[in-house]
Amino acid sequence: MSSSLTIAASGMNASALRIEASASNVANARSNGPVPQTPPDRPVPRSDDPRSVYQPVDVVQVSTGSGTAARMSERLPAYELRYQPDAPFADARGMVAAPNVDYTREIADQVASVAAFKANAKVFSTASEMARTVIDMKT
């Protein structure tokens, strides 16, 4: 595969991962839970308890020699304290942990990810057309 196709494909994959992360954050934004033992500036430990607070994720993207590489990473701070004394899992102060998810940020990330995907798809399409033109010229 030509380098421009590889670069564009890696960009499309990164954009798709960003959409996946943002969709997960939005879907779980209201999944409050008991206040974890860890402070908000540390990742929330994984738990099988369905009441545990959701750990939001971000995508870390780095440039490589042949495009970009992206991976999900825990968002920090992971949660914020909210006063919800009627929650069955509220602590003695009436506090619960709420995921650190801001809808405005998520919408902006989704819009930017869609635009980046479209741009990379156009690069991919153009590079493919150019390769076909070169092949047709040789035949």
**What pLDDT score does 90 carry?**
97
Neighbours of 24 (CB within 10 A): 17
Alpha-helix runs per DSSP H in 28-102: none
Instruction: Band the pLDDT of 129: cuts 50, 70, 90.
Output: confident
**Is the pLDDT confidence value at 1 over 60?**
no
Instruction: Band the pLDDT of 18: cuts 50, 70, 90.
Output: very high
**What pLDDT score does 79 carry?**
98
**Is the pLDDT confidence value at 138 over 90?**
no
Mean pLDDT of 63-74: 94
Burial class (CB in 10 A: 0-12, 13-18, 19+), 111: exposed
Instruction: Band the pLDDT of 43: cuts 50, 70, 90.
Output: very high
- List strand residue ranges (DSSP E) for 1-139, in order: 57-64, 67-74, 79-83, 95-99
Task: Tell me how far apart the alpha carbons of residues 123 and 128 are, in angstroms, rounded to a whole number.
Answer: 8
Mean pLDDT of 88-95: 97
